[in-house]
Structure 1
């Protein structure tokens, strides 16, 4: 019987101290992600968990809440528990190199998903969405929906997250080609729906003329849309990034206009498959850095979207 284990950091520490050596799993896979309050990260954990069980692993599912110190503690827990491998969506490109290197020194390979780190050669795999390509898709749709003109706002993700900068750069490499598109406001909402709601309210008060909002992820897009609805500004065009079910539903109701699907569930499963292959053979057969292309989601194909994957 396979076990799915979700414990607080404190409980894990106590369990680790109390557990006898013989209680360590022979084939334990640690899955570490940001908070499952965000459906994207929940889908990652569920995808990795399902594939791990299919391949014969026991799983240890942990959440770092985008806290680098907590992430380091969770790596210590995984090492103490005798994990064979770690699948990780990290808590910061710079802050993550040290714990990944520590795990490597302990003989535990790490397989990164969604977010890169600043170094190569310490993780076995870095499987990420082609954020630049996806951002360009989203920006092209945004420009078209805006009629190539008008003031707009941009909501950006966490500064410590490499993806935030890549997506913003991809957006602007497209949008900035259109001189009648005017950036009225650009603020970070740290990937948060609540923060995006508050930032959108402030932006609207200062810039009531805005006609569009392009967001670094769907969670912030949902927060922005809620603020726009509350202000009676459902005329404002909103485009997100991730491909969440929440934004799918909004698109189908005529709310948010588009998003960009990054295959979170499949990415996580691919990381587990590569972990299994590496543990069995000592190699994955592919490069460390791997890009997965994104797909534009709008009213034409939103009905096919389910849990960060397109149905046939």
Structure 2
């Protein structure tokens, strides 16, 4: 077993090394494993927190594991969940193709998987694939982008991780709207891999090559924050930036007059729905739902940003 592998438990507060701890099985078989990318991204942290809270409300023990978008690490964490005798796995996966074998392995071991946020390329091996309606959300964001751009001007697109199907879906949704406006010209399109640091670096380079840009549309809020930081550093706060996710950081930027808009995908609630379906499946053998399920997104701008809290709208 690989040393220094870490398990994040109990609200992400306790970190226990598997190398120095005895793996124990849930006393009554009621254990839910929650696997997400790094909690450095608040979106993924919200998923983990939401799933863990709901699982505990329903009487389950939990293990919260982080795969860092590394398919090999994800595969090892599946082995951990299987070894622990998990009743179900809640997963935001590390790659649409690379995850198929791990989900199949869990299924073969009698452990159902419930996917959130990102789909995998195969149907029939996960019980549920619950994702935001990324295409619908991207169209909302693109419509707002077109509006604030005044339907004209040079712009940049920062795209997410190429192995992630959401990156392509969001980009398609953006362009199906924006490309209808011939006076809007995309002068650069680059992947920043969902990363704030990469977005900052890419934005600096793009801005040097294209000083006349009017707007930047991003595949997620983390990249939007990186792009905005680069623009601020260059004294270009006139450039209009739109993100996607509905993070508190972008909410605060919108309220401060920085980034102009984002698209909320309900990460916290989506994770809770997955746990609720896992609970029903464990108890009855069925979720009562089809495998692939979409949850609609909501446009967030200056008009409603104050109601946004941890990937949810509150009254």
Give TM class, smaller chain: over 0.9
Change (3 A) 1:8 1:160: farther
How many aligned positions are there?
306
Change (3 A) 1:179 1:105: same
| Cα drift, residue 13 of structure 1 | 5.5
Among 11, 24, 37, the alignment partner of 1:34 is 37
The equivalent residue for 1:235 is 238
Q: TM-score, normalised by structure 2?
A: 0.94
Q: Over the residues paired in the alignment, what is the CA RMSD in angstroms?
A: 1.5
The equivalent residue for 2:94 is 91
The equivalent residue for 1:172 is 175
Alignment of 1:17-28 (within 5 A): 18-19=22-23, 26-28=29-31
| Cα drift, residue 14 of structure 1 | 5.4
CA distance in 1, matches of 2:66, 2:172: 29
CA contact (8 A) 2:158 2:191 kept: yes
Q: Which runs of 5+ in 2 are unaligned?
A: 1-8
| Cα drift, residue 12 of structure 1 | 2.5
SS at match of 2:231: helix
CA distance in 2, matches of 1:25, 1:185: 55
Of residues 213-222 and 22-31 in structure 1, the stretch that sits farther from structure 2 once superposed is: 22-31
SS at match of 1:62: strand
The equivalent residue for 1:128 is 131
Cα shift readout 1:10-56 (whole Å, capped 9, x = no counterpart): x32654xx446x66662110000000000000000000000000000
Q: Which runs of 5+ in 1 are unaligned?
A: none
The equivalent residue for 1:295 is 298
Change (3 A) 1:143 1:190: same
The equivalent residue for 1:56 is 59
Q: TM-score, normalised by structure 1?
A: 0.95
Cα shift readout 1:181-220 (whole Å, capped 9, x = no counterpart): 0001000000000110000000000000000000000000
Residue 229 of structure 2 is aligned to residue 226 of structure 1 = yes
Among 262, 278, 285, the alignment partner of 1:275 is 278
| Cα drift, residue 4 of structure 1 | 2.4
CA contact (8 A) 2:26 2:61 kept: no
The equivalent residue for 1:307 is 310
| Cα drift, residue 137 of structure 1 | 0.2
Alignment of 1:116-155 (within 5 A): 116-155=119-158
The equivalent residue for 1:115 is 118
Among 259, 266, 269, the alignment partner of 2:269 is 266
